[in-house]
Structures are given as C-alpha cells and as structure tokens.
A and B are shown apart, each in its own frame.
Chain A
Amino acid sequence: MTKPLSGLEVARQIGERFPDAVTGSDETAIFVHSEALLKVAHFLKESLDLDYLTSITAVDFFDHVELVYHLTSIEKNYSVVLKTRCEKDKKMDSVVGLWQGADFQEREVYDLMGISFEGHPNLKRLFLWQGFQGHPLRKDYPLDVPGGWKEK
C-alpha cells in the first residue's frame, strides 16, 4: 500500500530547512509559497527520495490558481501532495530540471490554464494551436462565443 506521508510531518521537515517556505499544512497536503516551490521540490526529491512526479494539476479558484503536485517515491512506496497558490499573472518556476515528466504537464497547464513556467525549455501550447486566444480551463472562459456551447 502506498503510504501517504502526513503533510504536517513533511511540513515540519521543510520548515527546519526553509523557515519561510511553508504557508500551511494538513494531514494530506503541504502548502508552500509559490516562490519557494522549486527549492522545496528539490529538497523533497533529494532528502525524501520522491523520484516520481505523478501529476501536476492546476485548479482555478477565480482569484488564484492552485497548483497540485502529486509526488511518489517508487523505492520507498510513499507519496506526498505539494500545493502552491499561484497568482494568475505571475510566473511559476518550472520543475522540468528535477523531473522530466513535468515537460508536457507544464505545457498543458500553460495551454489550458494560462500559467507560465520560467525555465521550461519549450513552453508552447500543447493541445490548442499557436495563436489561440484565452485559456479554456479557466472558470471565467466565455462559453457563449460564436460556435460555442450554450446552456439552454
């Protein structure tokens, strides 16, 4: 059984190393500052052997976007959920340097949610064509465009 590590315990370990990085934590997840994300991710990968990036998800909460990183250690079989609050007009640090698996996922987040990643080697839209206007997964994306879907 993959053991989900307690967010409180991991947050304490991060806090010892980077006192200002953690903004909150509960049993399931750790919340970190968006500026500190890259160094915390690096710390988790090196010290906790979280060698496998399961997924990156962006969730739009109108005033900000929450980025959710699911991390797994294949060798030790445990998992950690790392979350960060990201302002919509701010740039995030890319984690492609740590996990190559972030490559397409960050491009997907950029394409559909409009979050830019600094340090990504090839940040282009993944699914939609270059020149497409807007980011469809955002909650404020208008659906009543010509040819678009309308609720009856």
Chain B
Amino acid sequence: MAIKTEPVMINLGPQHPSTHGVFRMRVTFDGEVIVDMEPIFGYLHRGIEKLAESKTYLQNIPYTDRLDYVAAMSNNLAYVLAVEKLAGIAVPERAEYLRVIMAELMRIASHLIAVGALLNDMGAFFTPLMYMFREREKILDLFEMVCGQRLTYNYMRFGGVSHDIPEEFTPALERFIDEMPRFIDEYDQLLAENEIVLARIKGVGVLPADKAINASVSGPVLRASGVKWDIRRADPYSVYDRFDFEIPTGKMGDIYDRYWVRIQEMRQSVRIIEQAMAQLPQGEVRTRVPALLQPPKGEAYARIEAPKGELGFYLVSDGSPKPYRFKVRAPSLLNLTVLRDLVIGWKLADAVVIFGSIDVCMGEVDR
C-alpha cells in the first residue's frame, strides 16, 4: 500500500551558518530529497548602484570595497580600470605590476576562504578553516603594509595605486611565496586524500559545460565544468599578457572539480606573483589625475577575472563629476543562476555543500 506523503517546505536562512551571509533558500522536500528550491535575495541590499550616482568617481572607490568584501582589492581594480577606460588615463608600469601582485594575492586569500568554508559546510567544523586562515592572515599582513587596511583596502587609484610598497614588503612577500606551495600541498593532502570528503563531493552537483555557458556562469565554477575561459588570458587587462601561467580546468564540473580548480589556481597565482616580482620595474606608481575627475560623455565596460568570476563595471558618464549610471556585473549573483538546477534531486546536506562550492559573497550578490 502506498503511503500518502506531502512535500515539506523548509526555510534555509537568512541567518544560517552555511549560507555565508544573509541568503535564504526556500527548499521543498519530498521525504529527504529536494524537489524544488527558490533563492531569495536582498537581505544585504544597500543600493550601492544608486548611492554611487550621488558620489564623485573618486568617492566611489571605497564603496567598491564593500561589494565582495572577501576580495576587495579585485573590486577596486575592476572599478579603476573602467574609469581609466572612460577617461583615457594611462597607468605607470610599476603600478600595473603592483596591481597584478595585489590582485593575485587577493585571489589566493579568497580561494583560501572558499576552500576552507566548503569543508566547514561539510561538517569539519572550523578546524580546516583555521588552517586556511593561517595563510590568509599573512596576506592580510602584506596588505596592511601597503595600505594600512586589512579588509577594505581602498588601494587602487585612477592612474595607479595609492602608495608604493614599503621596504619590508618585498622580503615578507618573498617569504610568503616561498612557503605557500608547501601549504597548498598540505591542504591538498589533508582534503583530497580524505575518503569522507571525497564521498561527499565526487559526482555531486554536476554542472555540464553547455549549461554553465548558457547560464552566464563564470570563474572557477565555469572552468570546473571544462570551459577554458579566463579573462586574464581571453581578454588580458593590466599586464597579464606578460606572464606565463596555466588555466586549470575540471573534467565533469562536480564539487570536487570546483575545489580542485581553486587549489590549482592558487598555485598559478603564486607563479604569477613570482614573475611579477622578478619583472617589477622602478618608477612612479601614480599619474596625476584631478581629484574631481570629469570624464567625457560616454560609456565604458571593463571586466577582470575576480576570484569569483567575471567582475565587470559598466559606467555611463554625462560629463559631470558623478557617474550617470554605475552598474556592477556581479559574478556571485550570476553564478547562483544554476543553483536551483544543481540542488534538485539531492539531499539537504548536499545542498549546503553545493551552495558552498559556488563560493558567493552576499555583499556582491545583493549590492
């Protein structure tokens, strides 16, 4: 005799340790299996796009820090690239290299959180995350040396960066670069050789390549599905065309591949920083740009490969000191497009891990 059952609806979030911020999933279950999921956004909506229209171009740099606060340096970079494109500002060579070094350090720091938090979601409560924080701490120390801040850096400026690196930065960075590959091996050993971890993430939440492209997914999630698309290579900005690095791609697009791609990208970032340090030229770090910058009428779209995917800024100028339109193409929001399709058919504990493997930052999703 068939037992009559009814679907059960459960609210996951907005306050939940696995949602990495204030994100809510309204999940419908049939027994233990997810049959439907609706993501609900907006708990961290601060209206940054509207706010930016009432501030000058320079005043908007600190706001970009607050978008993806786990990778603030990358947001700075994308925004200043857009304004430089709009106003036609040249950047000194040394500043370009410093930008690349900071962006790659930021990528390592962001991926460390992504990988650590993923394990946190799987139930390895905070121990692996603290291993990752050990190295992230060193990166934050480096950032503190160059700009005095540890979370919201406000470091990039139109036509360069705010400060040159201090004397103690180079030896500290060299020490970090020296140690980092060993630490990455350590994470990989601890995690990828752990049978419980593998059982939870191999073959779970598979995202096929064509679906990923159709849903505008970008960054490590897209590459884990086997699409070799990295803005640093496909559309090089700054001086990325001068470095030798590989683009790791996954095979099937499951959680393991997303994890693996991030681990490999950290290794490649270390390589890029090594080359950038070796090539770092002397000279100015900033061109003179008026504080009340008034770009000519027009529009510009600049994009970078942020740790979470393609981060783009679309700016429209009407010739005044304030942007007429300030739009952020947030990779975190667009990567969540596929979340519903990924979690259907899996259980609640898997949904938490699948969500963690996409690696979103709610500051960027809700803006």
Contact = CB atoms under 8 A, between A and B. Distances in A.
Interface in A44-82: 51-55, 57, 59-60, 68, 70, 74, 77, 81
A104 interface: yes
26 contacts: A1-B234, A52-B213, A54-B303, A54-B312, A55-B314, A55-B329, A57-B327, A59-B316, A59-B325, A74-B227, A77-B234, A81-B301, A100-B211, A100-B337, A101-B216, A101-B337, A103-B337, A104-B333, A104-B336, A104-B337, A105-B216, A125-B42, A126-B41, A127-B41, A128-B42, A141-B50
A104 B364 CA distance: 14
A70 B312 CA distance: 11
Contacts of B50: 112, 136-137, 141
B349 interface: no
A77 B228 CA distance: 11
A99 B42 contact: no
A74 B333 CA distance: 20
A54 B367 CA distance: 18
B149 interface: no
A53 B338 CA distance: 14
Contacts of A52: 213, 216
B233 to A, nearest CB: 10
The 3 closest A-B pairs by CB, nearest first: A101-B216, A2-B235, A127-B42
Interface of B: 41-42, 45, 47, 49-50, 54, 211, 213-217, 227, 229, 234-236, 301, 303, 310, 312, 314, 316, 324-325, 327, 329, 333-334, 336-338, 366-367
Contacts of B211: 100
A55 B312 contact: yes
B59 to A, nearest CB: 14
Contacts of A141: 50
Nearest to B229: A74
Contacts of B42: 125-129
Contacts of B312: 54-55, 70
Contacts of A89: none
A40 to B, nearest CB: 18
A144 interface: no
A104 B39 CA distance: 10
Interface residues of A, number: 34
Contacts of A60: 325
A123 B210 CA distance: 24
Contact of A151 (B49, B54, B217, B327): B54
Contacts of B334: 101, 104-105
A46 to B, nearest CB: 13
A57 B216 contact: no
Contacts of A1: 234-236
Given A51-B214, A103-B337, A105-B334, 15 more contacts: A55-B301, A55-B329, A57-B314, A59-B316, A59-B324, A60-B325, A74-B229, A77-B234, A81-B301, A101-B216, A102-B216, A104-B334, A126-B41, A128-B42, A137-B49
A49 to B, nearest CB: 11
A29 to B, nearest CB: 9
Given A74-B229, A101-B215, A127 B314 contact: no
A150 to B, nearest CB: 11
A134 B367 CA distance: 18
Contacts of B333: 104, 108
A142 B227 CA distance: 45
B216 A99 contact: yes
A101 B329 CA distance: 12
Nearest to B42: A127
A57 B337 contact: no
Contact of A54 (B214, B316, B329, B336): B329
Contact of A101 (B41, B214, B236): B214
